[in-house]
Structure formats: structure tokens, C-alpha cells
Amino acid sequence: MRRSLLALALSFAALPAFAAMQAKPVEWTVGKDRFSGYVVYDDASTAKRPGLVMVPNWMGVTDDAVARAKAVAGADYVVLVADVYGKGSQPANAGEAGKLAGGLRGDNRSALRARIDAAVATLKTQAGSAPLDAEKIGAFGFCFGGSTVLELARSGAELAGVVSLHGGLAPGAKSATAAAVKTPLLVLNGADDKAVPDSDIVAFEQEMDGAGADWQFVDFSGAVHCFAEPSAGSDPASNCRYDERAARRAYRMMADFFRERFAL
């Protein structure tokens, strides 16, 4: 398992080619709204493997997100690249992305929770067409996607584990955290991320302790927002900046976290 997740950390700019890697489009609905994403896996083997729902950053399901999912999946996972905006609602720029994400991560996050729950359910339904063990499901996400997967835990969903990479931590004021958080959490945070103040960190830790959660929180010194995403660039004045050192360590930690949770 480690080889697949570490491949991403060690070679972001030029992702390795997987000759048998599949990225199959899939659609699902939540009420009257339709969503679309990709189921990614290596079909060189029919051996069943755990599944991971991946929620990209606020730009949604892009070619870069699918490439990242392929690197994470390797031969060890089936990954669903999950859309939470809705089919046809792909943002064209950061301004549009901010509006779409902001509309979902406000005080009332019931719509966001319903959409990420549906993505998990959709991944499980792929067991008949992909080499998936539907009893072993986890989730991870980047930035807005990290905030989204934390809502799975807050809602009381029970997964093997969720990992947030530089995601926002503040809860929705009108979306209560379950009395018991059943999903283990790994939160990977940039210590210098201006979007995540110390007050949010303290409040998150208190929130998770109050719900009896199994959680880990890791700060990476010098890292800011987007530190695990090479597409963020390296502008030293930006709070959204790739940090190769922090990214390598973060992906190793995520690899170990899921390996333990799936008993691999």
C-alpha cells in the first residue's frame, strides 16, 4: 500500500504512468440534483481492495484531480473522485470556486453532508464493476475537500478513517456535531496557514474531544495553505503555496494512517 501513496509524494510534477489504470465516469443523484465523478483503479488485478472517496480542492473534478487520484490508487485502492457541486457546475476560476464552496460550507452544511454521504454510497455501489471491498471505505480531501471529509465525521458516519490535507476546521454553526464521532481522523495542517487560525485549532480539538473522537492533528512548520498541491505554485508571498518537504511527510503519514485502518 505504501508504494502507491508515496508515489504521489515523491513525484508530483511528473506522475508515473500506470498502463492498466482506469478512470471511469460515474454519475449519481441527490434529490433532483445530478453529480458526476470518476472511479479510478488499476485493473491489472481483480483482487478486491479498499476504497477511498477523494474530494478535490475548490476547483472540483479537474484533470489534475484525476491524475492525483490515479497516483494514490496505484494497485491498492479504488478511488472515487467526488463532485459535490453538481454536474455542469464546474468552476472556471477561483472566484466562481469561492462562491460554490462558500455556499456549501456556511453555517448550515446539511447539503454538503448529503452530497458527500451520497458520494460514499456511490463508491460502495461500484463493488460489482470495480475490484472494490465495499466493507473498507475511507475518505480524504484537499483544502475545501478536506473541510468536506471532516463533515463525514461530524455527521456521525462510520468509515475506516478520513484525512484532511490543509482543510478548514471551523464547523457550521447550524450543523451539529454528532454526540459520538465514530470515524478516526488525521488532520494535516500548515503551521503558517493564515486561513486556519490558532483559535480554530483549539476549538476543533475541543469539539473532537467532546465527541470522543479518535483524532490526530499534525502541524508542518513553515507550511501554508495548499502545501500538498504542486499546482498551487511557489509564490513566497502567497498563503496558497506548495511545500515539497511538508508534502512528502504528509503523504507518508496518510499512507501509514490508512494502512493501519485497513489492516494492510
Category of 62 on φ-ψ map: left (φ > 0), alpha (ψ -120 to 50) or beta: beta
Q: What is the pTM of this model?
A: 0.92
**Which pLDDT belongs to residue 20?**
82
Quote the pLDDT of residue 3: 52
- φ, ψ of residue 223 in degrees (nearest 5): -85, 150
The residue type found at 47 is A
Q: Which residues, other chains included, contact 9 with Cβ-Cβ below 8 Å and sequence gap of 6+?
A: 247, 248, 250, 251, 252
Walk along the chain (264 residues) in steps of 10 and give the mean pLDDT of each run.
Answer: 48 46 97 97 95 98 95 95 95 96 96 98 96 98 98 97 98 96 98 97 98 98 96 91 96 95 91
Give the Cα separation of 102 and 118 in Å (integer).
20
Our CA angle for 29, 32, 38, nearest 5°, is: 25
Candidates 35, 260, 23, 220; CA nearest to 138 is 260
Task: Give the single-character DSSP code of 215.
Answer: E
pLDDT of residue 264: 84
- Specify the pLDDT at position 72: 93
User: Please, what is the end-to-end C-alpha distance for the chain in angstroms?
Assistant: 7
d(CA 105, CA 111): 9
For residue 123, count other CB atoms closer than 10 A to its CB.
27
Q: Does domain 2-261 have CATH number 3.40.50.1820?
A: yes
- Grid cell digits, residue 256: 501509514
What is the CB neighbour count within 10 angstroms for residue 248?
A: 16
> What's the rounded Cα separation, in Å, for the pair 22 and 40?
5
